[in-house]
Amino acid sequence: MCVCQSVKVLDDEENADRQLRTSHGARWTRTPSERLTESIRAEAARYRQIIDNAVTADGIVRERYAQHRDGFELLSRSDVSVCYSVVYWTLQHSSDNDCGEVTSECGCWLVRVNWSH
Protein backbone atom coordinates (compact mmCIF):
# COMPACT_ATOMS: atom_id res chain seq x y z
CA MET A 1 0.00 0.00 0.00
CA CYS A 2 1.46 3.39 -0.94
CA VAL A 3 1.65 6.38 1.39
CA CYS A 4 -1.34 8.14 -0.20
CA GLN A 5 -3.53 5.03 0.14
CA SER A 6 -2.48 4.62 3.77
CA VAL A 7 -3.36 8.23 4.54
CA LYS A 8 -6.73 7.77 2.81
CA VAL A 9 -7.46 4.76 5.07
CA LEU A 10 -6.58 6.91 8.09
CA ASP A 11 -8.81 9.72 6.80
CA ASP A 12 -11.72 7.33 6.27
CA GLU A 13 -11.29 5.89 9.76
CA GLU A 14 -11.09 9.38 11.28
CA ASN A 15 -14.29 10.45 9.48
CA ALA A 16 -16.09 7.33 10.71
CA ASP A 17 -14.83 8.05 14.23
CA ARG A 18 -16.17 11.64 14.07
CA GLN A 19 -19.55 10.46 12.80
CA LEU A 20 -19.85 7.90 15.58
CA ARG A 21 -18.73 10.48 18.17
CA THR A 22 -21.36 12.90 16.87
CA SER A 23 -24.15 10.33 16.81
CA HIS A 24 -23.33 8.71 20.17
CA GLY A 25 -22.21 11.82 22.03
CA ALA A 26 -20.79 11.24 25.53
CA ARG A 27 -21.33 7.47 25.23
CA TRP A 28 -18.52 7.35 22.64
CA THR A 29 -15.52 7.19 24.99
CA ARG A 30 -12.92 5.95 22.59
CA THR A 31 -9.73 8.05 22.19
CA PRO A 32 -10.21 10.33 19.17
CA SER A 33 -8.74 8.88 15.99
CA GLU A 34 -6.76 12.01 15.24
CA ARG A 35 -4.82 11.60 18.49
CA LEU A 36 -4.24 7.88 17.93
CA THR A 37 -2.91 8.36 14.41
CA GLU A 38 -0.89 11.55 14.96
CA SER A 39 2.54 9.84 14.86
CA ILE A 40 1.58 7.66 11.88
CA ARG A 41 0.42 10.74 9.96
CA ALA A 42 3.67 12.56 10.78
CA GLU A 43 5.66 9.60 9.52
CA ALA A 44 3.51 9.39 6.38
CA ALA A 45 4.10 13.10 5.75
CA ARG A 46 7.85 12.55 6.14
CA TYR A 47 7.80 9.67 3.64
CA ARG A 48 5.65 11.73 1.25
CA GLN A 49 8.28 14.49 1.42
CA ILE A 50 11.08 11.98 0.73
CA ILE A 51 9.17 10.66 -2.29
CA ASP A 52 8.46 14.18 -3.57
CA ASN A 53 12.14 15.09 -3.22
CA ALA A 54 13.15 11.93 -5.12
CA VAL A 55 10.69 12.70 -7.92
CA THR A 56 12.06 16.23 -8.17
CA ALA A 57 15.65 14.95 -8.23
CA ASP A 58 14.76 12.40 -10.93
CA GLY A 59 13.32 15.22 -13.03
CA ILE A 60 16.48 17.28 -12.63
CA VAL A 61 18.67 14.31 -13.60
CA ARG A 62 16.49 13.60 -16.67
CA GLU A 63 16.65 17.25 -17.71
CA ARG A 64 20.41 17.50 -17.24
CA TYR A 65 20.97 14.21 -19.07
CA ALA A 66 18.86 15.45 -21.99
CA GLN A 67 20.87 18.69 -22.07
CA HIS A 68 24.21 16.85 -22.11
CA ARG A 69 23.30 13.62 -23.94
CA ASP A 70 25.58 14.45 -26.89
CA GLY A 71 28.49 15.02 -24.53
CA PHE A 72 27.89 11.66 -22.81
CA GLU A 73 27.82 9.92 -26.18
CA LEU A 74 31.00 11.70 -27.24
CA LEU A 75 32.79 10.72 -24.03
CA SER A 76 31.86 7.08 -24.54
CA ARG A 77 33.93 7.01 -27.73
CA SER A 78 37.63 6.27 -28.04
CA ASP A 79 40.26 8.77 -26.89
CA VAL A 80 41.18 9.59 -30.49
CA SER A 81 37.57 10.24 -31.43
CA VAL A 82 37.08 12.49 -28.39
CA CYS A 83 40.20 14.50 -29.22
CA TYR A 84 39.25 14.84 -32.88
CA SER A 85 35.81 16.06 -31.82
CA VAL A 86 37.25 18.57 -29.33
CA VAL A 87 39.70 19.93 -31.89
CA TYR A 88 37.02 20.10 -34.60
CA TRP A 89 34.47 21.81 -32.30
CA THR A 90 37.05 24.30 -31.04
CA LEU A 91 38.18 25.19 -34.54
CA GLN A 92 34.57 25.73 -35.57
CA HIS A 93 33.79 27.94 -32.57
CA SER A 94 37.02 29.87 -32.00
CA SER A 95 38.07 33.22 -33.38
CA ASP A 96 41.45 33.92 -34.96
CA ASN A 97 42.57 30.33 -34.37
CA ASP A 98 42.68 30.93 -30.62
CA CYS A 99 42.15 27.26 -29.90
CA GLY A 100 43.04 27.18 -26.27
CA GLU A 101 45.06 24.86 -24.09
CA VAL A 102 42.77 21.81 -24.33
CA THR A 103 42.85 21.84 -28.12
CA SER A 104 46.61 22.26 -28.12
CA GLU A 105 46.98 19.27 -25.80
CA CYS A 106 44.64 17.16 -27.94
CA GLY A 107 46.37 18.30 -31.10
CA CYS A 108 49.78 17.37 -29.70
CA TRP A 109 48.44 14.02 -28.51
CA LEU A 110 46.89 13.33 -31.91
CA VAL A 111 50.16 14.19 -33.67
CA ARG A 112 52.04 11.79 -31.38
CA VAL A 113 49.45 9.05 -32.01
CA ASN A 114 49.55 9.57 -35.78
CA TRP A 115 53.37 9.56 -35.84
CA SER A 116 53.52 6.38 -33.82
CA HIS A 117 51.24 4.49 -36.27
DSSP state letters, 62-101: HHHHHHHHHHHHHHTS-HHHHHHHHHHHHHHH-STT--HH
pLDDT single digits (tens) 70-110: 888 888 888 878 877 877 777 676 665 555 565 566 666 55
**Predicted TM-score (pTM) of this structure:** 0.59
- Domain locations in the chain as residue ranges: 1-75, 77-117
**Residue 83: Cβ-neighbour burial (10 angstroms; 0-12, 13-18, 19+):** buried
Mean pLDDT of 22-46: 93
The verdict on domain 1-75 having CATH code 3.30.230.10 is: no
